Amino acid sequence: MVRQELMRIIKDRRKELMEKNETEHTDLLSKMLLVTNENGQFYSEMQIANNLTGLLVASFDTTSSAVTAVMNYIAELPDIYKEVLEEQMEIAKSKGPDELLTWADIEKMKYSWNVARESLRLMPPAQGAFRETATEFTYAGFTIPKGWKTFWTVHSSHKNPEYFPEPEKFDPSRFEGIGPPPYTFVPFGGGPRMCPGKEYARLEVLVFMHNVVRRFKLEKVIPNEKIVIHASPTPVHGLPVRLHPHEK
């Protein structure tokens, strides 16, 4: 059903582009319709629909979980919220009333992104992934042969005090400077097959933070709400939050 609706939208957009002879667009669908592969061929409507389906599905559960994690901590920690607010208000002051954020604005959100990353360290949306061992190795007294399919867990490194001192403490400064050692902070995986949606997720989370924090003060309705792990970390009561508008 989703793919059928996407196919309809793609056909309509292709027709519109052809009728208007347009070649310059910033939206993703238009770019997919106009781009060619290494042989100069356009992508089929089904290929585009499949890519859009992957984008929609992959960016929904994990990103909503990431946003929930950020909301959980900035509502719980007033000092963290205050610094995020100050950074976002500085950016807002440089914009017109209805002016949209630019990539340059996103790049300025360094502290906010550190807060988001620390939230992802403590509440990662994905719990791990499978990898095939490239060589035999020994770990904790167990020998893992070459070619085995292994499952690595995010928490095994995110909560490792060797890489993250006081691992249960919320500390965005961990990501200042060069940040954690490679392959220790892995909410998006790592290496050449890491999540291709990392920058898209970063954009979604930071735009969300910008639009919520600069308008509202947040208050958790249920302090110390229990978080359970299903596929992703899930607050048992849905993380109800009161939004208090800032005084003008």
Domain CATH code at residue 181:
1.10.630.10
My answer on whether 117 and 15 are in the same domain is no
My answer on whether 53 and 66 are in the same domain is no
Residue 79: band (very low, low, confident or very high) from pLDDT cuts 50, 70, 90: very high
My answer on whether 30 and 102 are in the same domain is no
My answer on whether 178 and 83 are in the same domain is yes
Contact between residue 146 and residue 135 where contact means Cβ atoms under 8 Å apart: yes
Please state the rounded mean pLDDT for residues 70-74.
97
How much of the chain, in percent, has pLDDT values that exceed 70? Answer: 97
The three-point CA angle 143-147-148 to 5° equals 60
User: For residue 219, which of 70, 84, 74 has the smallest C-alpha distance?
Assistant: 74
Residue 22: band (very low, low, confident or very high) from pLDDT cuts 50, 70, 90: low
58, 74, 105 - which closes a domain? 58
Taking the CA atoms of 38, 189, 128 and 234 in sequence, report the sign of the dihedral they define. Answer: negative
- Residue 13 among known ligand-binding residues: no
My answer on whether 175 and 210 are in the same domain is yes
Residue 62: band (very low, low, confident or very high) from pLDDT cuts 50, 70, 90: confident
Q: What per-residue confidence (pLDDT) applies to 181?
A: 93
Q: Give the domain range for residue 132.
A: 61-245
Please state the rounded mean pLDDT for residues 138-161.
92
Residue 150 bridge partners (DSSP): 131
Give the mean pLDDT of the chain.
Answer: 90
User: For residue 12, which of 28, 27, 29 has the smallest C-alpha distance?
Assistant: 29
Neighbours of 15 (CB within 10 A): 10
My answer on whether 44 and 99 are in the same domain is no
58, 84, 101 - which closes a domain? 58
Please state the rounded mean pLDDT for residues 148-158.
91
pTM of the model: 0.81
Residue 18: band (very low, low, confident or very high) from pLDDT cuts 50, 70, 90: confident
Backbone angles phi, psi at 35, to 5 degrees: -75, 150
My answer on whether 144 and 28 are in the same domain is no
Please state the rounded mean pLDDT for residues 86-96.
94
User: For residue 204, which of 65, 111, 72 has the smallest C-alpha distance?
Assistant: 65
My answer on whether 188 and 219 are in the same domain is yes
Residue 114: band (very low, low, confident or very high) from pLDDT cuts 50, 70, 90: very high
Q: What per-residue confidence (pLDDT) applies to 140?
A: 87
Cβ-based burial of 217 (10 A; exposed 0-12, middle 13-18, buried ≥19)? middle
My answer on whether 17 and 102 are in the same domain is no
Q: What per-residue confidence (pLDDT) applies to 25?
A: 67
Residue 24 has pLDDT above 70, yes or no: no
My answer on whether 128 and 217 are in the same domain is yes
Q: How far apart are CA 37 and CA 18, in angstroms?
A: 19
Instruction: Output the CA–CA distances (angstroms, integers) from residue 237 to 61, 75, 194, in the order listed.
Output: 17, 15, 32
My answer on whether 125 and 77 are in the same domain is yes
Contact between residue 84 and residue 119 where contact means Cβ atoms under 8 Å apart: no
Q: How far apart are CA 243 and CA 245, in angstroms?
A: 6
Q: What per-residue confidence (pLDDT) applies to 169?
A: 97
How much of the chain, in percent, has pLDDT values that exceed 90? Answer: 57
Give whichever of 13-17, 45-49, 195-199, 204-208 has the largest mean pLDDT: 204-208
My answer on whether 76 and 12 are in the same domain is no
Please state the rounded mean pLDDT for residues 207-219.
96
Count structural domains, the chain.
2
